Amino acid sequence: MTDQGFPVDEIDTSRPHPARMYDYYLGGWDNYEVDREAAQRVIDVLPDIIPAARANRDFLHRSVRFLVESGIRQIIDIGTGIPTSPNTHEMAQALAPEVRVAYIDNDPIVATHAGARLTGAGNTGFFLGDVRQPRTILDHPTIGKLIDFDEPVAVLLVAVLHFIKDEEDPAGIVATLRDALPAGSFLVLSHATADFHASSLPEVFKIYDKATATLNTRPYAEVAALFEGFDVVEPGVVQVPMWRPDGPDPEPAEVRRIGFYGGVGRKS
Ligand SMILES: C[S@@+](CC[C@H](N)C(=O)[O-])C[C@H]1O[C@@H](n2cnc3c(N)ncnc32)[C@H](O)[C@@H]1O
């Protein structure tokens, strides 16, 4: 156990973890040999995974800025990932220090780092939870402490639902979260797709099949359908570099490399 009571002894170093593989793609150090080997095999067949991971992280930053500028002061960030600065609360609180953020991930390694890097001040919290049990997340005491469901809330599902199989009902998960939110709330979602790298993906799937969560890419229409019940804000669901870029639109050749769709929806 860590000082924060998180289960460091539950960390599995025998199988690659998606959170630690993503950390490796982003150039982080919070990963083990088993993760580096698996992530490197993905990079060998799909080198675009590195710009894609970075573009996804940049999308997270721009969308959080958009949320705060839209008046959001409370955020539930599910599938937090291993802390990578700037994290959601750092982005949000730089603009509005009163923003409250609840972080949730199901990976114990995220929990061990969360104590030091994601929590501390009274307006952020982390707990271990599984997006496949959205009701349990909504009812958690940390949510009760940080989130007021009478005021608009933003739910972040950034690069997490592609770890959920069809039979685990990703649309049903989003619907349960959506139904708990008051009008004026937001959904931020990004999702891996095979639409641009069809030939490399079978090999990538095989690598994730041996990890703690399988990879379930989805085509454009299925990702867009996850926004049911939300009004998708401009520019819609797009490849993540195209979502409100800072500066001019990125080059089409660069955008083609990015196998992540993302978007932001508002509940009316
Ligand atoms: C690719 S990382 C994304 C991190 C961050 N949201 C970002 O986009 O930069 C995916 C994260 O989702 C977490 N995750 C995977 N399956 C999950 C589940 N069923 N419930 C909660 N978190 C999950 C992983 O542990 C990992 O930290």
The minimum-distance atom of ligand 1 relative to the CA of 84 is 9
Q: Spell out the domain ranges in the chain.
A: 8-266
Question: Over its length of 268 residues, how does the chain's per-residue pLDDT go in tens digits?
Answer: 444 455 556 678 889 999 999 999 999 999 999 999 999 999 999 999 999 999 999 999 999 999 999 999 999 999 999 999 999 999 999 999 999 999 999 999 899 888 778 876 789 999 999 999 999 999 999 999 999 999 999 999 999 999 999 999 999 999 999 999 999 999 999 999 999 988 999 999 999 999 999 999 999 999 999 999 999 999 999 999 999 999 999 999 999 999 999 999 999 9
CB atoms within 10 A of CB 33: 9
Cα of 251 vs centre of ligand 1, distance in Å, is 28
Q: In the prediction, which pLDDT does 1 show?
A: 43
For ligand 1, whether the C-beta of 213 sits within 6 Å is: yes
Does residue 76's CB lie within 6 angstroms of at least one atom of ligand 1?
no
Q: Distance from the CA of 79 to the center of ligand 1, in angstroms?
A: 3
Q: Find out whether the beta carbon of 110 lies less than 6 Å from any atom of ligand 1.
A: yes
Domain 8-266 CATH (choose: 3.40.50.12160, 2.40.30.170, 2.30.42.10, 3.40.50.150)? 3.40.50.150
SS3 annotation, the chain:
CCCCCCCHHHCCCCCCCHHHHHHHHCCCCCCCHHHHHHHHHHHHHCCCHHHHHHHHHHHHHHHHHHHHHCCCCEEEEECCCCCCCCCHHHHHHHHCCCCEEEEEECCHHHHHHHHHHCCCCCCEEEEECCCCCHHHHHCCHHHHHHCCCCCCCEEEEECCHHHCCHHHCHHHHHHHHHHCCCCCCEEEEEEECCCCCCCCHHHHHHHHHCCCCCCCCCCHHHHHHCCCCCEECCCCCEEHHHCCCCCCCCCHHHHCCCCEEEEEEECC
Are the C-beta atoms of residues 14 and 34 closer than 8 Å to each other?
yes
Task: Evaluate: CB of 60 within 6 angstroms of ligand 1.
Answer: yes
Residue 34 near ligand 1, beta carbon < 6 Å: no
Residue with tokens 């170093």, as numbered in its chain = 13
CA 127 / ligand 1 centre spacing (Å): 13
Tokens of 150: 């009478």
Q: Decide: 159 in ligand 1 pocket, CB within 6 A.
A: yes
Q: What is the pLDDT of residue 96?
A: 97
Ligand 1 pocket member 160 (CB < 6 A): yes
Q: What is the pTM of this model?
A: 0.95
